[in-house]
Amino acid sequence: MTESQKRPARRVERDLQAVGAVAQAVLDSDNSDALLSEIAHAARTLVAAKVAMVITIAGEPEVVTIRALVGVSGGPLAVGSAAPLAGTAIADLVRIGSIMVRRGAHEAPAASRSIMDAYQVGPVVGVPLSSDRVTRGALFVGKATGAAPFRQADIQLIATFAHQAASAIHLSELRAAEATLTVGAEHDRIARDLHDGVVQSLYGLGMSLRASITRSAEPAVVPIVHDALDRLDEAIAAVRKYIAQLELTSASSQASAAARSSLEPPTPPNDDRLPRDVIGALGSLAEASLAGRSLASVLGQIVTGVVGRTGAAFCVLGTVTEDGRELEIRAVAGPAVPGRNVGDLVPLDETLAAVAIRRGRPIVVTSPEQAGPGMREPMRRMGMGPVVAVPMSVRGRAFGGLAVGRQPGSRRFSRHEVNMIEAHAVQAAIALEFDRVREELRRGVVIEERRRVGTDLHDRVIQMLFGIGLTLQSLEGTTRDGPTQATLRTAVDSIDRAIRDLRRYVFDSGPSLAVDRRLDDELRALVADLVAATTLDLTVDIDPAVSGMVADSAGDILQIASEGVSNVVRHANANHCLVRLLLRNGEAVLQIADDGSGVSSISTSRGHGLRNMRTRAAALGGRLDIRGNHPRGTVVELAVPVQ
């Protein structure tokens, strides 16, 4: 190869390494402004330009803001400066929606021409930062006045950097929107559990205490219990008010997040083919990793692209399991490799990726004889010749690897091919890390929000309930009336249980059974407590075998039963209530029937209770039906599929 032939090859090699470094920065950085500045600097340097600038669009009416600027200083352009979109150079990009190339200031609109002349800028390339057909900004790169126009290869490189910038902006916005939605969903859950569990429990406690007052033979007890009841009503009102606040912030969170276009995943392109050149391919992968495609699709596109560009026989991508002992195969391209199918778990020490992961750099071998003692026989058995293994890492932690191999006797991998494989591995790491960080983000936001809500409820409600419990406990020791003592003891236990439930509903994922109780036992006890202070005739018919089938859904079933029976007690004016749990047509059916006023006595579409019942039924994959009973009354029926 002559020196004139080597120069373009070295340039491609340099560009490839720069694109890989920027992709790794997209993966590692949590500072989008610094990252955009790094991208602008790389684009300017690699195409020998004078200036590079990243602009973003936001607001209504739309405003453009300079987020990164390298190569010039002073004058009207500065990082952070903003102006209306109309009349700017980026307005043309938004209108056209594709790459804009100007050979000099004479081809630019008047508004841009004066700025180009002021900074002595000639040829300019502008690339929109787009996702989901929405332009979020632009990357502009300009050469000095009188410089040669941009080559097609330079334009393609700038476009690839623009895709990286769009990915960085999209990821930053998505993180913010997803955190908002996660808080809203958690507020919904806590509000639902507080209403179905705590409010219903406290309401039942109040009914029981009022009944005990009418039976009490000790006048001294009555005013104290009346005072406790007043405070209990205040506690119930406080919980209801807090539920309303949670629901309000939940609705607001969902509305604001939905308003951000970044929340809706961009529509994946219909064409899965990659550009023929590697720089363009990496730009396409940068888009795809954040463009709404499934993780499996993006990883499959990466390994297929590596095989196609290197002429390899196979490419295998895997991630290390949590215990660090195995490699989980996540994507495979090429002919089947024994023990290397998607989903397989392979001992880490039996893979070349292990060496690359531990050393933190690529491993290149030309034959099994060059591999370590532990790998020679496996490579021979799998028919491997030259192999490259590169690590995938984020913030210095290697968590997986990419292995690419050829048939025995084939040529070894060149330095250029190894660099290209590394760049693809970084794109795979972006896709994997993006998938992981979304889940971690959800968990982190939820934990923090639970802590905040828990503190708030402690200050507002738990202290109030604790004081009521102490009052009733002291009163129990002063009375000699046996039934009154029993009622007060039960009331104190109920308050203690309500406090525990408050904390559990906030810090756990919802209601659950005590470890020593079964669903059928808990269901009988629950409905008996709810009707204890009434004259309602209760019949309970529960099939223990069916309760075992739906034990994993016990918390939601108990809450639905609690709401259903509470509605009978409060609204139905019934004489009799039947609670059944049975198996019917492959479904577990919870049935609550009464002989009261009928469906018209309750609203089937409004109110927390019925709405929560429907939400829980849907979460269980079941359905909730409310209908009239014959000859009178109401039937509430939950049907849940069982295995």
CA proximity to 205, closest of 235, 179, 170, 178: 235
Q: What is the pLDDT of residue 49?
A: 93
Question: Tens digits of per-residue pLDDT, 58-93?
Answer: 877 788 899 999 998 888 888 998 888 876 767 777
Q: Output the CATH code of domain 511-643.
A: 3.30.565.10
What does the pLDDT read at residue 527?
86
* Segments in 194-220 forming alpha helices (H): 200-215
Cross-strand pairs, 390 = 402
Instruction: Check residue 34 and give its pLDDT.
Output: 87
> Cα(579)–Cα(584) distance, rounded to whole angstroms?
15
Cβ atoms of 5 and 408 within 8 Å: the answer is no
pLDDT band at 610 (very low <50, low <70, confident <90, very high): confident
What integer pLDDT is reported at residue 141 of this predicted model? 94
Structure tokens at 6: 């080597």
| Model pLDDT, residue 3 | 42
pLDDT value at residue 540: 94
CATH code, 12-173: 3.30.450.40
pLDDT band at 53 (very low <50, low <70, confident <90, very high): very high
Helix (H, G, I), strand (E, B) or coil at 71: coil
Q: Lowest-pLDDT range, 23-32, 171-180, 520-529?
A: 171-180
Higher pLDDT, 463 or 57: 57
Cβ pair 76, 96 in contact under 8 A: no
The pLDDT value given to residue 54:
92
Q: What is the mean pLDDT of the chain?
A: 78
Q: Where are the domains of the chain?
A: 12-173, 174-313+413-510, 316-409, 511-643
Q: What is the pLDDT of residue 204?
A: 75
The string of pLDDT tens digits covering residues 458-501 is 666 777 787 888 788 888 778 777 877 887 888 888 888 777 77
User: Do residues 386 and 408 lie in contact, with contact meaning Cβ atoms separated by under 8 Å?
Assistant: no
3-state per-residue secondary structure call for 236-263: HHHHHHHHHHHHHHHHHHHHHHHHCCCC
Per-residue pLDDT, 125: 92
**pLDDT higher than 50, residue 267:** no
State how far the Cα of 224 lies from the Cα of 209, in Å rounded to an integer: 11
606 pLDDT band, cuts 50/70/90, is: very low
**Closest Cα to residue 572, out of 584, 560, 580, 564?**
564
601 contact partners, CB below 8 Å, separation of at least 6: 571, 572, 573, 634
Q: What is the mean pLDDT of residues 368-385?
A: 73
Secondary structure (3-state) at 445: helix
Residue 115 reports pLDDT greater than 90: no
- What pLDDT score was predicted for residue 265? 36
% of residues, the chain, pLDDT over 70:
76
Separation CA 124–CA 274 (nearest Å): 27
Q: What is the pLDDT of residues 300-328, one digit of tens each?
A: 888 988 888 888 888 999 999 888 888 99
What integer pLDDT is reported at residue 582 of this predicted model?
Answer: 94
- Asked if the model's pLDDT at residue 623 lies above 60, the reply is yes
Query: What does DSSP assign to residue 332?
Result: E
Residue 27 has pLDDT above 70, yes or no: no
Pairing between strand 576-584 and 537-542? parallel
Highest mean pLDDT: which of 36-50, 362-376, 423-437, 542-556? 36-50
pLDDT reading at 510 higher than 70 = no
Contact 162, 22 (CB under 8 A): no
Give the torsion through C-alpha atoms of 29, 32, 36, 42, to 10 deg.
Answer: 0
- 515 has pLDDT over 60: no
d(CA 79, CA 408): 55
Residue % of the chain over a pLDDT of 90: 15
> What is the per-residue pLDDT for 210?
77
Tokens of 123: 């040829």
User: Of the segments 177-186, 200-209, 501-510, 574-583, which one has the largest average pLDDT value?
Assistant: 574-583
Closest CA to 207 of 580, 608, 480, 565: 565
Residue 425 has pLDDT above 60, yes or no: yes
65 by Cβ neighbours in 10 Å (0-12 / 13-18 / 19+) ranks as middle
Same fold, 12-173 and 511-643: no
Decide if domain 316-409 falls under CATH 3.30.450.40.
Answer: yes
